[in-house]
Amino acid sequence: MRALVLSLLMGLALLAGPAVAGDLSPAIPKAQGACVDEPQAMRRHHFDFLKHQRDDTLRSGIRGARHSLKECVSCHAGKGADGKPVPVNAEGQFCQSCHAYAAVSIDCFTCHATVPEKGPKTAGVTPGVTQ
């Protein structure tokens, strides 16, 4: 009898688990444009795309390609109440939300910009800014 009651309680706990815990998936802010790839592909392989692009940029000088970090930031940086871009790695923002959920640190932004560039693109490199 005790085993039956215990198994019933365990079954109920399993069924009620998600409802009790609530939705634990990350809150992902909506992008400002269309992504360069399918969402499932980006979720699963974005780090591979970015590493490949990094290698192409560093070794071959190829910039502005399909999977550039700069393009990701330009689309995924939300805007605050003041209308200014909010960094993608700020609390509750696109990159930070998923990386916190997956318990993965983001080291891209120790060097790269977290908000889109303003103004027209210029030739050359801006001192202190890595693209």
- pTM of full prediction above 0.85: no
Q: Is 84 left (phi over 0), alpha (psi -120 to 50) or beta?
A: beta
11-49: pLDDT as tens digits: 555 454 444 456 778 888 888 888 888 989 998 999 999
- Summary mean pLDDT of the chain: 79
Instruction: Tell me what pLDDT residue 8 has.
Output: 54
Instruction: Tell me what pLDDT residue 86 has.
Output: 92
Q: 12, 77 in Cβ contact below 8 A?
A: no
Closest CA to 88 of 68, 104, 72, 103: 72
Report the share of the chain in percent with pLDDT over 90.
34
**Range 120-126 average pLDDT:** 41
Confidence of residue 128 (pLDDT cuts 50, 70, 90): very low
| Domain range annotation of the chain | 26-110
